[in-house]
Amino acid sequence: MGEKLVFYSKNDKGRTLSRSDRAKELCLDDLRCEFLFSGEEDYSNSAKIRDGFEKNLEKMIDAEVIICNGELLSIEMLKKLPNLRHIQLLSAGFDGWDIDAINDLDINICGNSPAISNSVAEHTIALIMTLYKRLSQAVEGVKSGEWMKKAITGPYGNVREITGKNIGIVGLGNIGSKVAKLLKGFDVNIFYNDIKEFSNFEDELNIKKLSFEELLKISDIVSVHVPLSDETKSMFSAKEFGLMKKDSIFINTCRGPVHDEQALINALKTDEILGAALDVTEIEPISKNSDLLKLDNCVVTPHLAGSSRESVDRRIMFAFENANKTLNGIQPENLIFS
């Protein structure tokens, strides 16, 4: 007999869902998460799939909910699951999924950006600080026995302040809006560009919507928070970096292919922009021979912005709660539409 609820991680190490009166455990990737429920939820009809969906169709045939961490399901596979009502992703991104076809099948597919927005927003601020305060150079200098204060600050002050700067946020969704809220404490001017209007945030945070080109031209810091799609792929190319101020910095914590990596490398090498900080790259993991890793004005972290002790718990809780909404006839959060 099939299961109503299916958990899957492409990096699963084989730990199964355990049951007790109050706690349930689920291992995703190499993280062990413990979380409590009210005691009323019953996940006894659940299965942990370790060897891929295609090999486990019989276990999944009655599934109403599938929770995925990194694995894509083909439309052909989804059509074989007549009872499927809800696909819950454990990531904010949904690139690779055929959203049009899933919507046509009347299946809910939901992202997880509300659960990771705090972590990604905080990491964004950390990347800005790392570039502006030249923290990488300072830390490495001290470790190597060099007291580099003069070399880092320079005669005209290469270390900079965030206060008073123009901030351009591209994509003002769950994560972009959280970044805006955190940055307001630095007494900055915030502008945004998005396909949607966010009048509530404009009033609450005193921020202004600009065209994409206008935003690039006036921003000291450009931070991008958009999903990867045909429309956003390479939206930052040579043209866009050419529009940015020469002393501006570029921050990307969403998806690597949103920027054209070679165009970014060229802009950094020729001082067309001041610097870049990336949590994502076109190819992951990044090659150790990448020019990005050789540049003094570029910082790269290994796609960990959304990963924190707190966010892992929230991701799992959000997934379960959102699945329950669908099963109980309530519209779930963070629905993805084409």
Rounded CA separation 324/110 (Å): 13
Q: How far apart are CA 123 and CA 129, in angstroms?
A: 10
Contact 163, 221 (CB under 8 A): no
State the catalytic residues.
Answer: 255, 284, 303
- Give per-residue pLDDT as tens, 139-180: 998 999 988 787 677 765 689 999 999 999 999 999 999 999
Q: Could you give the 3-state DSSP secondary structure of residue 315?
A: helix
* Full-model pTM: 0.82
Q: Which residues of 205-244 are buried (b: 16+ CB within 10 A; e: fewer)?
A: bebebbeeeebbeebbbbbbbbbbeeebeebbeeebbebb
Pairing of strands 31-36, 23-28: antiparallel
Domains of the chain: 5-114+308-327 (3.40.50.720), 117-300 (3.40.50.720)
Using CA atoms, how far residue 204 sits from 84, 125, 190, 210, 224, in Å, is 39, 20, 12, 17, 21
* CA–CA gap between residue 314 and residue 156 (Å, rounded): 44
38-95 per-position pLDDT tens digit: 333 444 445 555 456 666 677 677 788 888 876 778 899 899 989 899 999 888 888 8
